[in-house]
Chains A and B, each alone.
Chain A
């Protein structure tokens, strides 16, 4: 007397009472689905498309982020399938098997071994299928190409330092890379854990004090990509951001050549010269390296001392202070004024102290900072 499984399940729908329930179910479904669909569509158009999302993971700009994206979507659609199946079955059960007076008492089924096997094996097979590309992607994406250009990324509370060992260039907050070729980020941290993340270029990777981690980065086209520290790293974690600027090969070489030059020492009597005086007098040289064409005037902070960003080519960076400034609707000068007046008030806990600078001193410092275009 063994009935087939499917007929049994379908059979449960065949008595007239359940058929009525089925009709009710269908009616409700046809009425509500278009409504829900329209609502979702409208809200997604309104909210998703209008605004730009510079940190989105859905807009890969290079092969590594793209490989991840290609892995995400099939899994997402499988998940959607399972979601529809399970949630649909829940709703169907509620509608079809609701307690009504006209319903017979339910059969006391204790289980079904065949079903158990089915819903153990099928998910296992689906997972096995997903597992193959996953494992190969893990190995693909973790090891840098040996010929790739290396850039050292060093995490500090709360800014990223970028060193180009082959070119002998140091910069901060803005990482400049050649478009269309792989860059290998060799990363470590100077203090706590950080996590370097540029969603458009690849997933994220920790910066671990005392260890080296690696991240492959590549942008196919020139452009600016946003980054963020993704691991909680203390008070101003949320203000530790980064930019990656990808340039075509010629522009990149020009940028390197420019960065390799020390800045020219300001002429006496100019505001920039006086600004340099303020810079020295206020002790800024304790943390900030500045390289001049006049070697004697240069200030070099040793690597093992406490470091702030190298300010030699500060003027060439679009953003500063952990890539949080200038904010939207603010000029660079306004942002600099705000920052220099009271750094910990902009970035709580900042190691750049409030030096109680006068407005005049701030103006002079800004003049000096901007004097190396």
Chain B
């Protein structure tokens, strides 16, 4: 008999059963629904970060501008950076990995579906917690010395000259939070506590999902999908997960030190108390540089999927691209101090980190050349995903080249902390990561909607982005080399920086226009876009062997993979010259796949939804609020309440029945259930028929 029946089936811990409506989303453990929620939440934060950027650009379009107060300006650039990195690019990558990774490797879900839901809820509560600083946070000017100024005493009413002061009470230490400026003595309000604890919570979410993705990749691949048959995006997702796994603990330690400094007076970073301000920089960049690759590698994976499909050729140098990605990640841990060339580290360290930084150009070059090799002699279709993918290669190259100039250490002494750096990393993270993300959104849109996004609007979107992006960020190189320092609330008219700043601000609004076009396109295409069918792009990988939109169970039949680009080889042969020849029965194969995908032969067991992930996540921000206000009684109570919620959820999670008893009663799942118990993996249904090793 089934093992499930022997489990304690209490009525207290019944599994939720909603399949539609809000509760189905709150309790879902489906990787696709979680991916979609991740995506929309990330996009919401993208809009927030974008609005922050536009406010900054309005301000900077004029020398000596007083559109924003200094406090609001500093808060806006801090929140823009923090938002775009931690609340947009990272979660949108998580959205892609969540939704696509199981499909790409032929799995029905990730390894730990409830854990997946947990990391999503921790992320969203962390984001809300961080942004609640707009409501609750206070950011005070430096306390100074007794008798001078005094708390907030040296700020005139209204926060100083400037019009817009609304956000001046938000975190204002920069996304890098350099100490001791962001420490208790020089930023005495609560805003930076919200920042430090908010990042801590978001890091926890990423850490959990990284473990989940790694286990998924190593255990849940379809039969025959050896590691070197995985699509490059799956590879890059794996590499990214390892990067997260190794780098997040470092920032966690650093952020705990800041929190202890600020809450309990440990003063790790205060020189006058025996601390070391440079220590923070080492810890921060030891995380921060791998973080750059955490942001870019998933986009590189997406581009490596899109380019072959629209060039009608396999990825040139597949294994080189994969290993280059891994090499970038590995080297990425050895270059952190190139963010600190001006900090007074010894010449030996500077030379060593300069050389290490140069070496990263080599695997990056390998990727770029292989992408070019993929396009070369192909048959290129310039649909929107392809345009964005090519845009990625073109723009990322520029970011990579300006990156090499930072490795020339003395040259970096001139460039660092200027707009040249701002230009550089926007070419990498906007021209790179965000173009790649849009390529992926257009490319995989059919997978979640069953429709294709409008190509004409997509092209309008692309060209607006391309022109706006270059108008915004190309002149910043020039501005930086002309001496415009970063994080500058005011620049003097005599510096001659104004004309190009006007151009930059115009560019920013062109980008914004492009985003509006995209949003309209998304909305309209979801409602009434052209139906995609199974294979709208003549694709190569197995996520396109299942119907669009993706059925809840993903694969009606667990797939078996014979080679790289499995789906392509179902459709195409090669002639004597090695040219692609479409099989005469390719269309039949596709319609058969579609029919089989929609009509599973046997009922498919899926992981059951659960209340506990969301509950467990809920306790965490409550604890964080409690820590910030721990001196008040209610703060202490909040810590206790939050801990209680999370712990009870943990217990509930532990004794939750595997699924509702009625499901087991159907009897058809006996085999599955027995196997499940035997492997003792929670909801690891995929492994049932995927264990045997091929070759």
Contact = CB atoms under 8 A, between A and B. Distances in A.
Given A120-B366, A208-B277, A349 B142 contact: yes
A206 B354 contact: no
B154 A211 contact: no
Contact of B351 (A76, A112, A138): A138
Nearest to A236: B70
Contacts of B410: 67-68, 71, 134, 137-138, 141, 203
Interface in A268-288: 286-287
B577 A107 contact: yes
B24 interface: no
Interface string B368-389: 1110110111111110000000
Interface in B491-508: 491-497, 499-500
B362 A116 contact: no
Contact of B375 (A55, A97, A137, A286): A97
Q: Could you say which of B70, B159, B172 has the most chain A C-beta atoms within 10 Å of its C-beta?
A: B70
A198 to B, nearest CB: 10
Contact of A97 (B311, B494, B580): B311
A54 to B, nearest CB: 6
Contacts of A82: 397, 401
B163 to A, nearest CB: 13
Interface stretch (B15-23, B144-152, B609-617, B633-641): B144-152
Interface in A103-148: 103-112, 115-116, 119-120, 123-124, 127, 130-131, 134-135, 137-139, 141-143
Q: Could you say which of B172, B174, B365, B390 has the most chain A C-beta atoms within 10 Å of its C-beta?
A: B365
Nearest to A60: B414
A9 B270 CA distance: 61
A351 B144 contact: yes
A258 interface: no
Q: How large is the interface on B (under 10, 10 to 19, 20 to 34, 35 or more residues)?
A: 35 or more
Q: How large is the interface on A (under 10, 10 to 19, 20 to 34, 35 or more residues)?
A: 35 or more
Contacts of A254: none
A106 B312 contact: yes
A178 interface: no
B660 interface: no
Contacts of A97: 311, 375-380
Nearest to A141: B410
A213 interface: yes
A55 B186 CA distance: 28
Given A47-B499, A203-B413, A344 B493 contact: no
B482 A57 contact: yes
Given A111-B370, A127-B362, A131-B355, A55 B181 contact: no
A230 B489 contact: no
A233 interface: yes
13 contacts: A94-B382, A98-B380, A111-B317, A112-B373, A127-B404, A134-B407, A137-B409, A142-B346, A232-B174, A345-B161, A348-B69, A348-B70, A353-B154
Interface of B: 64, 69-71, 74, 141-142, 144-145, 147-149, 153-156, 159-161, 172-174, 178, 180-181, 186-187, 270-272, 276-278, 311-314, 316-320, 342-344, 346-347, 350-351, 354-355, 358-359, 361-362, 365-366, 368-370, 372-373, 375-382, 390, 393-394, 397-398, 401-402, 404-405, 407-418, 478, 481-497, 499-500, 574, 577-581
Top 6 closest pairs, chain A to chain B, by CB: A203-B413, A55-B483, A210-B271, A348-B160, A51-B496, A213-B344
Given A127-B358, A349-B160, 19 more contacts: A54-B483, A54-B494, A58-B482, A76-B405, A105-B379, A106-B311, A108-B574, A109-B578, A111-B370, A119-B366, A130-B404, A131-B354, A134-B351, A134-B354, A193-B181, A197-B485, A237-B487, A344-B155, A348-B160
Interface of A: 9, 12, 47-48, 51-58, 65, 67-68, 71-72, 75-76, 79, 82-83, 86-87, 89-90, 93-94, 97-99, 103-112, 115-116, 119-120, 123-124, 127, 130-131, 134-135, 137-139, 141-143, 157, 191-193, 195, 197, 199, 202-206, 208-211, 213-214, 226, 228-239, 241, 286-287, 305-306, 324, 327-328, 342, 344-346, 348-351, 353-354
